[in-house]
Structure 1
Amino acid sequence: MLNNNENVKSVFSIKDLENLSGIKAHTIRIWEKRYNILEPMRTESNIRLYDLPSLQKLLNITLLHDHGYKISKIASYNENKIPLLVQEIISEKSSKSHAISAFKMAMINFDQALFFKTYDDLLSKKTFGEVFFEVVIPLMNEIGFLWQSGTVTPAQEHFISYLIKQKLLINTEKVQVLAPIRKDRVFVLYLPDNEIHELGLMYLNYEILSRGYKTIYLGESVPIDSLKDMKKYFDNITYISYVTVQPTKDDINNYVEQISREVLDENSNIWFVGRMAEYIEDKNLSPKITIINSIANLIFEL
């Protein structure tokens, strides 16, 4: 259902609230019945529906509950006290969960101002790398689930992804202008054919540049022939491929075999990271082909 003034989804099911808050629908129902923390609307068939203020209130309650407040105590507070307590928690310790909730609200409402305020608040306390690693990566993982479950639309996902991409590009440019100080290898970062999920790869490019390496960023949907071309210009190449949905689990091993046969030589190797990498079979691994199971582990390898 859409708000006629804002053209934004403003009515949510209890399953949406569960997906967005992390509180089980069963628990939400108990909290409503025992403590009257939310007052849902009802359809003619008695199905619960919630508005945006209810969602925001539940996200605030979740934060307080995560910080040790008992639900019975939270329920005794008036409506104005809960946001004040949330602000106190945020000011005392930069709350990752609050920032993620704020970014999700910005996404749901297509609210650029809230996105930028939340980002700037985080950046006043953390480096860009810390903001991205501690908050944005968990956020994107959550958004992937929210999109799959139908809680958010592709348009909302694209909206928040573009804003994050803007910040990545700005910060990458700052380190890109610095001359490389580590020259033992060159990193070539790319996504395979038909793979378009670029944010994780963009962040890795930023981190590798920050550590003084030269990178060649090829971006999305790169054919294998383009990888071969790199060998004309550089020695000691480490390719990094972020495989989120492509190649599929049925095709990934054929793809790895082709890379090994046509691209890799004594002066090159490749690191695979992303969801599809878990389907690469052991028989295809070698000192030149490495699976790295998380961004954190890949950064550690640097």
Structure 2
Amino acid sequence: MNNIKNTFSIKDLENLSGIKAHTIRIWEKRYNVLEPMRTDTNIRYYDLSCLQKLLNITLLHEYGYKISKISKMPVEKIPLLVREIVSSKSAKNHAISAFKMAMMNFDQTLFFKTYNDLLSEKTFKEIFFDVVVPLMNEIGFLWQTDTITPAHEHFISYLIKQKLLINTEKIQVLEPTKHDKLFVLYLPMNEIHELGLMYLNYEIISSGYKTIYLGESVPTESLKDLKKYFTDIVYVCYMTVEPEKADVNNYVKQLQNDILDDTSELWLIGRMTEYLDQKNPLGKVKTFSSIEQLVDNV
């Protein structure tokens, strides 16, 4: 029961590898690099071994190896050559591919091995920006195109969340060194995409500030409660899919009326900020297009 079987369409392979389906078909026909299975109606489908091979071929191709040369290599040589390239050049693309394979096969052992290999060369911050952010962007696309299931997304997100919690705990024991602001981090109601907010919490604590992390699906009333205890609050709200497009402006207006005063600010980040009406003055509200930009303003 531990042998997880997954099959993929050629469109899935395109989404996972970044190689166009048309190109994959040419590589199959001309160079025989993949051996698809076929349904009773003669439609191609692929297993995990095909996906792994294609991801390896993609990396070699990105580093200048011609597909005609790759196709003549013994099957066992391709992963060995990939490892040589990774050790001598950049581990980023290989790590993203390995994390994808871990996700597709629900393989936490592969996840931890890949992460630990990265940690031997990079800091946690470098891993997050160089690998995790691009990975999560890809996973969002894969989920939207039905290439992966919600179970895949939850599996890989939980493992990343573990690493965020471990690294945050290490620095939470330190006394804050800056006291001009207090950061309150939260997600709006029905928003559950927490990884970006968790990383912002890590960065803000690292900068020397005290944070209050409220997490996902926080009602406005809970934010109002904090005003009884603190001043100089910066509320940080991460809006990935909530509030919905039609409700974003009303939600921000409600926050302006209910929680903002002369000593507080509201910082907004996430995809839904694109739908804010820029014609209306936002007052003590700032919007950020990326995690890096927000961190630079801390």
* 8 Å contact from structure 1 (residues 32, 38) kept in 2: yes
Segments of structure 2 that go 5 or more residues without pairing to the other structure are none
* 8 Å contact from structure 2 (residues 188, 243) kept in 1: yes
Q: Where do residues 97-116 of structure 1 align in structure 2 (5 Å cutoff)?
A: 97-116=93-112
Displacement of 1:202 in angstroms is 0.4
User: Which is worse superposed, 213-222 or 86-95?
Assistant: 86-95
- Write the letter of the residue equivalent to 2:254: Q
* 8 Å contact from structure 1 (residues 60, 82) kept in 2: yes
Alpha-carbon deviations, 1:174-216, whole Å to 9, x = none?
Answer: 1111111111111100001111111110011001111111111
Distance 2:280 2:187 in 1: 19
Distance 2:204 2:64 in 1: 39
What is the number of equivalent residue pairs in this alignment?
298
Counterpart for residue 240 of structure 1: 236
Structure 1 residues 285 and 292, CA gap change in structure 2 (3 angstroms): farther
Q: Where do residues 1-302 of structure 1 align in structure 2 (5 Å cutoff)?
A: 5-6=1-2, 8-302=4-298
- Write the letter of the residue equivalent to 1:23: I
- Write the letter of the residue equivalent to 2:42: N
Secondary structure in 1 aligned to 2:252?
A: helix
- Write the letter of the residue equivalent to 1:163: L
* 8 Å contact from structure 2 (residues 91, 118) kept in 1: no
Distance 2:66 2:279 in 1: 52
- Write the letter of the residue equivalent to 1:115: F
- Write the letter of the residue equivalent to 1:132: F
- Write the letter of the residue equivalent to 2:197: L
Displacement of 1:6 in angstroms is 3.4
Give the TM-score of the pair, scaled to structure 2.
Answer: 0.97
Distance 1:118 1:284 in 2: 47
Secondary structure in 2 aligned to 1:247?
A: coil
Displacement of 1:132 in angstroms is 1.1
Q: Using the aligned pairs only, state the percent identity.
A: 70
Displacement of 1:84 in angstroms is 1.1
Segments of structure 1 that go 5 or more residues without pairing to the other structure are none
* 8 Å contact from structure 1 (residues 94, 122) kept in 2: no
Displacement of 1:94 in angstroms is 3.4
- Write the letter of the residue equivalent to 1:18: E
Secondary structure in 2 aligned to 1:184?
A: coil
- Write the letter of the residue equivalent to 1:210: S
Give the TM-score of the pair, scaled to structure 1.
Answer: 0.96
- Write the letter of the residue equivalent to 1:56: Q
Secondary structure in 2 aligned to 1:91?
A: helix
Distance 2:281 2:77 in 1: 56
Distance 1:111 1:164 in 2: 13
Structure 1 residues 213 and 56, CA gap change in structure 2 (3 angstroms): same
Alpha-carbon deviations, 1:157-183, whole Å to 9, x = none?
Answer: 111111111111110001111111111
